[in-house]
Amino acid sequence: MSEPVLPGDATLRSTALALDAADPLAHFRDRFYIDDDDVCYLDGNSLGRLPLETVSAVGEFMNDEWGAEAVDGWSHWIDEAASVGDILASAALGTEAGQTLVCDTTSVNLYQLVGAAIRANSDRKTIVVDAANFPTDRYIVQGLADTFGLTIVTLDTDGSGGPGSVSVEARDDLLTVAALEPILTDQVAVLTLQTVNYRSGARADMKAINDLARSRGIYVVWDCAHAIGSIELDFDATGVDLAVGCTYKYGNSGPGAPAWLFVRKSLQPVLNPPIQGWFAQKDQFAMGPVFEPTDTIRRFQIASPSIMGLRSVKMAFEMIGEAGISAIARKAELGTEYMIRLVDEWLVPLGFRLGTPREALQRGGHITIHHPNAKQIALAMRKVSKVIPDFRMPDGIRIALSPLPTSFVEMWDGLARTRDLVASGEYKNVTDEGNRVT
Ligand SMILES: Cc1ncc(COP(=O)(O)O)c(C=O)c1O
């Protein structure tokens, strides 16, 4: 794949209009609930917008199924974690059916898969995490290491430390195979990394890392929360065996919608997750005295799925399937290229620094810009300029395009308003009211 090419002068609004006119996905914007067209919503990497069809799908489920059928509905709801998992896998993971469940949260699913990998590699006593992993991933690993008596090695890419920290070179959080090479010894049971880093947006080379880890008998559990729905994951080509992710970011499935987990078919009979719930039991309704798990993907399901949540995941991932993940990924590459160009032209002269790799295949759907006053600027973007980004410690503002609803004009307007806000110094008048969520 070559780097995306932008036509004309990126700083002209007419270029954004031309990009929208040529965008094969532009019409999908009309299928989302957009309350105020003047808002530049550049936070789809945190929470995706609401697809209009989800409102009717969930409403129909309530009336026609829960309302009309009550408990009888379970006869056809019972396997929906797996059937919606197949829809999600076909739309966004690049792999076969029978290996994905939509269930629980990313955190619970990570616990299940890292725990299963530890149990399978029980003669090894080390677990490797990245200091730049999303906090929940690092905290869950700390709990698992305590439970199973493992030592943690934290790849300290940014000086923030962590249990067993080892200093590792990584520009913009982009880990290389060369940096991992000496750390992945024969004592390592499992390594867990993010496909797209939640802070910088850097994208790991999953194939190279999987190949190295596999050659040393190490399981890799990928957290794809920031990747799914913005890049081609291609699990078969990249050799992913174990992965988790959410559905509420580029997946547009709603706040707290069920997450997903992926276990490659060949590993399903040999891995044993630490939480052994009744949905994993081979003969589930025999209600027997001893846990005897099935050999299928259901072995990784703990309990009753949220059918309402599953319906919104189904609707959103059918839309992703309809658009095509390769078209979505191309738009993310072009859109991030466009935003980087505008940052270089407008924001770097105002004291910002780009914190995301410049090569399209080394990033996902968001970029991060740093500024000493980032927290106050991010707040003012929201309050004064009607631009929605998010802020991440210590000085990062993340701005994303969500390929289905976000337009190029929205990106242009958002960055032009940010430029004006900072150039005028107006952001300094905004006070932080102490919102717990940034
Ligand atoms: C990379 C990553 N992993 C995990 C999580 C946590 O997900 P959950 O709250 O669904 O467990 C998030 C949340 O934003 C995330 O960005």
What would the pLDDT profile of 367-403 be if each residue is shown by its tens digit? 999 999 999 999 999 999 999 999 998 999 999 999 9
Confidence of residue 264 (pLDDT cuts 50, 70, 90): very high
Tens of pLDDT, residues 139-168: 999 999 999 999 999 999 989 999 999 999
Q: For 209-227, what is the mean pLDDT?
A: 98
Please state the atom number of ligand 1 nearest to the C-alpha of residue 249: 14
Nearest to 104 by CA among 85, 87, 90: 85
Residues pairing with 387 in the sheet = 40
Mean pLDDT value of segment 194-203:
97
Rounded distance between C-alpha atoms, residue 112 and residue 49, angstroms: 29
CB 127 within 8 A of CB 118: yes
- Tell me the β-bridge partners of 101: 261
Q: Specify the ligand 1 atom closest to the Cα of 256.
A: 10
The pair of three-digit structure tokens given for residue 105, joined into one six-digit string: 């949260």
pLDDT exceeds cutoff 90 at 303: yes
Indicate which residue's Cα is closest to atom 5 of ligand 1: 106
Domains (ranges, CATH) in the chain?
Answer: 13-51+325-429 (3.90.1150.10), 78-322 (3.40.640.10)
Q: How far is ligand 1, taken at its centre, from the CA of residue 421, in Å?
A: 31
Residue nearest to atom 14 of ligand 1 (CA): 46
Rounded distance from Cα 201 to ligand 1 centre (Å): 14
- Report, as an integer, the average pLDDT of 352-358: 98
Instruction: Tell me the CA–centroid distance for residue 428 and ligand 1, in Å.
Output: 31
Mutate to test the pocket of ligand 1, among 107, 193, 246, 313 (most ligand atoms within 8 A of CB): 246
In this prediction, residue 8 has a pLDDT band, given cuts at 50, 70 and 90, of confident
Task: Give me ligand 1 centre to Cα 282, in Å.
Answer: 30
pLDDT bracket for residue 435 (50, 70, 90): confident
How many angstroms separate the alpha carbon of residue 329 from the centre of ligand 1? 21
Reported confidence tier of residue 229, pLDDT bands at 50, 70, 90: very high
- Of 105, 112, 134, 200, the one to substitute when testing ligand 1's pocket (max ligand atoms within 8 A of C-beta) is 134
**Atom 7 (ligand 1) nearest CA:** 106
Region of 159 (left: φ > 0; alpha: ψ -120 to 50; beta: rest) is left
The answer to whether the beta carbons of residues 386 and 39 sit under 8 Å apart is: yes
Q: Which residue out of 45, 106, 192 has the highest number of ligand 1 atoms within 8 Å of its CB and is therefore the one to mutate?
A: 106
- Average pLDDT (70-83) is 98
The rounded percent of the chain whose pLDDT value lies above 90 is: 95
Amino acid 412: pLDDT: 98
At 1, the pLDDT band (50, 70, 90 cuts) reads low
pLDDT, residue 195, reads: 98
Annotate the chain with three-state secondary structure.
CCCCCCCCCCCCHHHHHHHHHHCCCHHHHHHECCCCCCCEECCCCCCCCCEHHHHHHHHHHHHHHHHHHHHHHHHHHCCHHHHHHHHHHHHHHCCCCCCEEECCCHHHHHHHHHHHHHHHCCCCCEEEEECCCCHHHHHHHHHHHHHHCCEEEEEECCCCCCCCEEECCCHHHCCCHHHHCCCCCCCEEEEEEECECCCCCEECCHHHHHHHHHHCCCEEEEECCCCECCECCCHHHHCCCEEEECCCCCCCCCCCCCCEEEECHHHCCCCCCCCCCHHHECCHHHCCCCCCECCCHHHHCCCCCCHHHHHHHHHHHHHHHHHCHHHHHHHHHHHHHHHHHHHHHHHHHHCCEECCCCCHHHECCEEEEECCCHHHHHHHHHHCCCEECEEECCCEEEEECCCCCCCHHHHHHHHHHHHHHHHHCHHHHCCCCCCCCC
Q: Atom 8, ligand 1: which residue's CA is nearest? A: 106
Please report the pLDDT score of residue 315 as a whole number: 98
Task: Say whether pLDDT at 18 is over 60.
Answer: yes
pLDDT tens readout for residues 87-100: 999 999 999 999 99
Q: Note the pLDDT tens digit of each residue in 19-72.
A: 999 999 999 999 999 999 999 999 999 999 999 999 999 999 999 999 999 999
Pocket of ligand 1 (CB under 6 A): 105-107, 134, 136-137, 194, 198, 223, 225-226, 246, 259
Ligand 1 centroid distance, CA of 106 (Å): 6
Q: What's the mean per-residue pLDDT of the chain?
A: 97
Q: How far is the CA of 135 from the centre of ligand 1 (A)?
A: 8
